[in-house]
Structure 1
Amino acid sequence: MMLSVNPGRSDRDSEAFVEVDPTGRYGRYRELLGSGAVKKVYRAFDQEEGIEVAWNQVKLRIFSDDPSMIDRLYSEVRLLRSLTNTSIISLYNVWLDQEHNTLNFITEVCTSGNLREYRKKHKQVSMKALKKWSKQILKGLNYLHSHEPCIIHRDLNCSNVFVNGNTGQVKIGDLGLAAIVGKNHEAHSVLGTPEFMAPELYDENYTELVDIYSFGLCVLEMVTMEIPYSECDNVARIYKKVSSGVKPQALNKVRDEDVKAFIERCIAQPGARPSAAELLKDPFFDEVDDDDENDQ
């Protein structure tokens, strides 16, 4: 009896796409890269460029009774498409899948996941490396804040910053709560991640400086590997401390006085809080050479 060779064996060994976008360019794999309250992020492939990408998928039926949420998601995606900066995650394509009632968008993928997980995984990081990451985040914020119109991220924290570990490049992602503000740079709705929210956010009258406050707490988390205000066991306690000016306990663990002073500048009262452009000139970054940053 002749053995028949099983046709397509090698095809089965290689991963098959679960879904392909309407243009046929992007294929989605089953593997999940991340999952949030609103969207799932899958590993995907750009067949034209031969690169891995992220396929973000939002199930719109969750918001069938909340059209404002769908509008907000659309605006995130429209906003992302218009941004081009090495410190901001790039968006390549977006479409609505009517049949499955999903909003899909293809973004660049960062090979090493988010900064919170990356920092936990690599405990031995020099202050110089932490400053490099911080400077790249600030460059992204400076780009958003000086954009016409000004864009406030409003939900900056270490889980929304992504890392390419092989280049040491970090990029701001998840602009889902971003606000585009007019000439007066003021926004009025309360949202974000409580531990990272500036006190004035709760007063519903704030500017892009709320992102600087969140950035300061990102630096604190990078240095101490502790989420700020983790001593509080609920949101109400966090709010009480933040609104009465009590600083997070993690700040007491920062031994380096220069680092501590830099974080304190970022989380100062709004009137005394510097802009991203001002912070980029801070002597804190003197040892970080621009050529050194892989962000040409």
Structure 2
Amino acid sequence: MVTGRVQNPENMEKYEKIKVVGRGAFGIVHLCRRRTDGALVILKEIPVEQMTRDERLAAQNECQVLKLLNHPNIIEYYENFLEDKALMIAMEYAPGGTLADYIQKRCNSLLDEDTILHFFVQILLALYHVHNKLILHRDLKTQNILLDKHQMIVKIGDFGISKILVSKSKAYTVVGTPCYISPELCEGKPYNQKSDIWALGCVLYELASLKRAFEAANLPALVLKIMSGTFAPISDRYSPELRQLILNMLNLDPSKRPQLNEIMAHPICIRPLLNLYTDIGNVKMRRIEKPLSTVQTGPHGRPGGRLASTRTRGGLSGLTSTKMMHPLPLSSVYTWGSGISTPLRLPMLNTEVIQVSLGRTQKMGVTKSGRLITWEAPSVGSGEPTLPGAVEQLQPQFISRFLEGQSGVTIKSVSCGDLFTTCLTGMLLKIQNFPSRSQSIVVLELCDSG
């Protein structure tokens, strides 16, 4: 039997078919509505009666693979059942279409590097999850990478020809879409996860150039191109690091292609990876007009000047008079939690803070000029209103000061632990301890290898 579920006529009653959205080698893909909650789902219908043994194994394999995978960047598997001599696989619907469609609609208008990396790191995380389950995708391509309705979240799908590996064994079957197959596949050599790395390199190249790395009029010509490893360079508008990453993944020697964890540690991938996991939401702000008594008046007691909309660097908007413009803060830092019920703005010492870190006993920031600012333990007292629209209530008061004893060192970044703070400068020459009232500061300076 192909599926682990027994045939149940009531299974199909859960779904209302809407339309056919695709046809493939193994069957039909339906868009359906789940009757219990109205959610849109995909039902893949795979006829099993006239299947060959290999086709049945492939269908069974897809169910087995989908059950093993659980990741936000992989199409979610719901269930499978038999219906009228067909295997039905219910899975998540991605309404944003495929990444291939997204690229095609660009009409030669290149993506910016941040967008490319935003998509790429999500695919990277999904593939890392797949490989951790000892699974090869073996058909990674832009047509199998789907998008959510906002076209911001990518999800890998179509595991029909995936292969579950045993430990570090290598696969031999030649499968996959020709434009994305690796050189070792072309030669009929055994391969492992590094073939998926090659395909991932092809996907990254396609994001950067809006065309495939390897294309030809016929299969023999395509194989020759892949075997030679020659492809047109991407635009020089992109960083050298991005170009080098593509070259590394499209190395003809599988052993020289980077591992997925090495790619994730690549400098250009770190920031987009962090951005995926540091979006903690936002607070909706309201514009607040100052009371008329505080607005400068013109002749006959009418308000003088024109009220103009202004925006701070932190993105908070308000109203101010053009005749009585007050200097805006260079930056704003808010804190909440641990007894602070509403966001509280910290004092800034008339400086611009570019990075902050919070520990159990300390709050630290790095200024644009490379100085370390600290906000010390508050004393309880009545505070002023914090964010626009916030209710005035009792709030602790923090005291800000620059770190004492910092001279000749430019701080690049800071990280707070439970009882210590670590700072990173531009050059690893020495370790300094800066005394503080409540914690020690360790400064690591990284030296140039040259």
TM range (shorter): 0.7 to 0.9
Counterparts of 1:211 and 1:295 in 2: how far apart (Å)?
29
Q: Kindly provide the amino acid, as one letter, of the partner of residue 267 in structure 1.
A: L
Does 2:118 correspond to 1:135?
A: no
Deviations 1:216-264 (A, max 9, x none): 000111111112222x101111112222x33223x35565232211111
Deviations 1:201-229 (A, max 9, x none): 23230111100100000011111111222
TM-score, with structure 1 as normaliser: 0.83
Per the alignment, residue 75 of structure 1 pairs with 61
Q: Select the residue among 197, 221, 226 that pairs with 1:212.
A: 197
Between 1 and 2, higher relative CO (CA 8 Å, sep ≥ 6) is seen in: 1
1:38, CA displacement in angstroms? Answer: 2.0
Does 2:6 correspond to 1:22?
A: no
Unaligned runs of 5+ in 2: 1-7, 281-450
Per the alignment, residue 186 of structure 1 pairs with 170
Counterparts of 1:295 and 1:217 in 2: how far apart (Å)?
29
Given that 1:185 and 1:208 are in contact with CA atoms closer than 8 Å, whether structure 2 keeps it comes out as: no
**Structure (1 or 2) with the greater strand fraction:** 2
Matches within 5 A, 1:1-296: 22-23=10-11, 26-61=14-49, 63=51, 66-97=52-83, 99=84, 101-122=85-106, 123=109, 125-147=111-133, 150-166=134-150, 168-202=152-186, 203-230=188-215, 232-243=216-227, 245-249=228-232, 251-253=233-235, 255-256=237-238, 257-268=240-251, 269-292=253-276
Q: Equivalent pairs: percent with the same residue?
A: 22
Counterparts of 1:44 and 1:22 in 2: how far apart (Å)?
15
Q: Which entry has the higher C-alpha Rg, 1 or 2?
A: 2
Deviations 1:96-141 (A, max 9, x none): 22x3x21111100111111100222245632211101100101011
> For the structure 1 residues 110 and 201, does the alpha-carbon distance in structure 2 shift closer, same or farther, using more than 3 Å as the test?
same
Deviations 1:2-37 (A, max 9, x none): xxxxxxxxxxxxxxxxxx973356314241222222
Counterparts of 2:249 and 2:111 in 1: how far apart (Å)?
22
Deviations 1:162-190 (A, max 9, x none): 00141611011000110111112311111
Unaligned runs of 5+ in 1: 1-19
Per the alignment, residue 297 of structure 2 pairs with none
1:205 alignment partner, SS class: coil
Q: Kindly provide the amino acid, as one letter, of the partner of residue 142 in structure 1.
A: Y
1:193, CA displacement in angstroms? Answer: 0.7
> For the structure 1 residues 85 and 292, does the alpha-carbon distance in structure 2 shift closer, same or farther, using more than 3 Å as the test?
closer
Counterparts of 1:233 and 1:224 in 2: how far apart (Å)?
19
1:266, CA displacement in angstroms? Answer: 0.8
Given that 2:139 and 2:161 are in contact with CA atoms closer than 8 Å, whether structure 1 keeps it comes out as: yes
2:276 alignment partner, SS class: helix
Deviations 1:28-71 (A, max 9, x none): 424122222223211111222331111111233552xx211111
User: Which shifted more, 286-295 or 232-241?
Assistant: 286-295
Counterparts of 1:233 and 1:283 in 2: how far apart (Å)?
37
Q: Kindly provide the amino acid, as one letter, of the partner of residue 27 in structure 1.
A: Y
Q: Kindly provide the amino acid, as one letter, of the partner of residue 139 in structure 2.
A: D
User: Which shifted more, 113-122 or 284-293?
Assistant: 284-293
Counterparts of 2:278 and 2:15 in 1: how far apart (Å)?
29
**Structure (1 or 2) with the greater helix fraction:** 1
Counterparts of 1:289 and 1:180 in 2: how far apart (Å)?
27
1:69 alignment partner, SS class: helix
Q: Kindly provide the amino acid, as one letter, of the partner of residue 182 in structure 1.
A: V
Runs of 4+ in 1 over 4 A off after TM superposition: 252-255, 293-296
> For the structure 1 residues 285 and 71, does the alpha-carbon distance in structure 2 shift closer, same or farther, using more than 3 Å as the test?
same
TM-score, with structure 2 as normaliser: 0.56
1:93 alignment partner, SS class: strand
Counterparts of 1:124 and 1:184 in 2: how far apart (Å)?
39
Given that 1:130 and 1:223 are in contact with CA atoms closer than 8 Å, whether structure 2 keeps it comes out as: yes
Taking only aligned residues, the RMSD between alpha carbons, in angstroms, comes to 2.3
Q: Kindly provide the amino acid, as one letter, of the partner of residue 227 in structure 1.
A: R
Aligned length in residues: 268
> For the structure 1 residues 198 and 293, does the alpha-carbon distance in structure 2 shift closer, same or farther, using more than 3 Å as the test?
farther
Counterparts of 2:278 and 2:101 in 1: how far apart (Å)?
21
